[in-house]
Amino acid sequence: MNPAPTPWLLLIVSLPTSGATVRMRIWRTVKALGCGALRDGAYLLPAHAEQVAQLRELADDARNGDGHAWLLDVRADDPADEAAYKSLFDRAGDYADWLAELSETRKTLPDLTAADLSRLQRRHARTYEAIRSIDFFPGETSLRAHAQWRDFTAAIEARRSPGEPHAAQRGIPRRDPAQYQGRLWATRRHLWVDRVASAWLIRRFIDPHARFVWLDNLADCPADALGFDFDGAPFTHVGDRVSFEVLVASFGLGDDDGLVRLGAMVHALDVGGATVPEAGGFEAILAGARKRLADDDALLMEIGAVLDSLYVHFRGNRKP
């Protein structure tokens, strides 16, 4: 039995000759939405695409610009037409161009600072996510691109923060904060995003009298210390969560919207993914503080004040 044909939305636009500005805006928008052009003024989009609502808004925009617009539900009459429609959405070329750039970029990694590596990762992540968002029929090419992106981010992490933990595949047991008071906590020295945010979280919300040891060598971790953000530590990356997010889940802090949103920022800066406007500013402040302050205790004190402010900001400015 042949699979059911894909439902499509067809936008047909007709604009007056004087509407050059509107025409250009519509062309740029349909391209950004990932529409396939059947011909000038006729644009196709799979009906399951998240961009459908924006396509409807575009039709309204065309009508408001003294033009005409029709949105039609269409289906292919036969498999050949179905294949022809789908071919309009082949993203292999987009992936190939991005992967070629990624390959060239990888050669430059040894010469970059931690902040430069983070900026580079975010730039390539934006390009990758832009392609993925319009890859309506992912196949082998998208799987290869995902594998290459995973390798690239791993290479950046290895450069940016030697000893960066590998994600454990296990559950996150719930901990009683009362059992974790006045303890010694340990992590790698030269604090970066996840470690400094985790240390702040520990002292601010879990163990107010926490003491910290910053390790040159993980083998020197004291036997009575609670480790975080390194392989084998009680609190480290688990699945797709970074150490900060694991601590939030471990100690039942997940109902605090400010911490959850702060965790999303830490996650994006540490391992990539959807970012927030505040991320770049925090990273710049941390990078500058690391250059000024050789002592991690001083760094935690200074960045802790920044995190205090960000926490209040995130808690008081809820998403609409």
DSSP letters spanning 220-237: G--TT-EEBSSTT-SBS-
Q: Does position 320 have pLDDT exceeding 50, yes or no?
A: no
Q: Which residue has the tokens 């990762």?
A: 121
Structural tokens at position 181: 């008071």
Q: Which of 17-31, 182-196, 225-239, 289-303 has the lowest mean pLDDT?
A: 17-31
CB contact set of 160 (below 8 Å; sequence gap of 6+):
114, 117, 118, 192
Name the fold adopted by 8-87: Alpha-Beta Plaits (3.30.70)
Question: What local confidence, expressed as pLDDT, does residue 275 receive?
Answer: 74
> Per-residue confidence at 318, pLDDT binned at 50, 70, 90?
low
| 233, 239 contact by CB (below 8 A) | no
User: Which has the minimum average pLDDT: 60-69, 241-250, 299-308?
Assistant: 60-69
- Does residue 160 carry a pLDDT above 70? no
**φ, ψ (nearest 5 deg) of residue 217:** -130, 125
Whole-model pTM over 0.75: no
d(CA 251, CA 313): 22
Over residues 179-184, the mean pLDDT reads: 96
Radius of gyration of the chain (CA): 25
Of 50-54, 160-164, 193-197, 314-318, which gets the smallest average pLDDT? 160-164
Between 111 and 262, whose confidence is greater?
262
Residue 2 has pLDDT above 70, yes or no: no
- Beta carbons within 8 Å of 44's beta carbon, 6+ residues apart: 8, 9, 10, 11, 35, 36, 37, 38, 74, 85, 88
